[in-house]
C-alpha cells in the first residue's frame, strides 16, 4: 500500500501507512492519504484525512474512536 503525506504544501510518498503516520518529526498541518482497499473492478480506493492543526495524540485517538464507530454501523 502506498501512502502520501502532504505537509504544508509538500508531498512525500512512503511504503506503508504506518511510516506515514509516524514521521521522524511531528506531522504538521496537512493531509494523510492512504490506500484502504480495492473496488470490485480493481480500482484502488484511498482514504484522506486532513488536519487543520499540528497533529497531537488526542486527535489520533478521537479519529480512531470515530472510525471504530463508523465500522460498527456497516
The domain tally of the chain equals: 1
**Per-residue pLDDT tens digits for 42-64:** 999 999 999 888 888 899 899 99
Residue 68: predicted pLDDT = 97
Asked whether the predicted pLDDT for residue 27 surpasses 70, the reply is: no
Mean pLDDT of the chain: 76
Distance separating alpha carbons of residues 33 and 47, to the nearest angstrom: 6
Q: Helices marked H in the chain — which ranges?
A: 17-21, 57-72
Distance separating alpha carbons of residues 23 and 1, to the nearest angstrom: 17
User: C-alpha angle 23/47/57, rounded to 5°?
Assistant: 40
3-state class (DSSP) for residue 68: helix
Residue 55: predicted pLDDT = 84
Q: What pTM did the predictor assign?
A: 0.56
Amino acid at each position: 500500500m502506498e501512502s502520501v503525506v502532504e505537509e504544508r504544501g509538500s508531498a512525500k510518498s512512503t511504503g506503508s501507512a504506518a511510516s506515514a503516520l509516524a514521521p521522524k518529526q511531528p506531522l504538521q498541518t496537512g493531509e494523510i492519504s492512504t490506500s484502504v482497499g480495492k473496488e470490485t473492478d480493481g480500482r484502488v480506493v484511498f482514504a484522506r484525512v486532513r488536519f487543520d492543526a499540528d497533529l497531537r495524540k488526542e486527535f489520533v485517538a478521537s479519529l480512531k474512536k470515530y472510525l471504530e464507530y463508523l465500522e460498527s454501523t456497516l
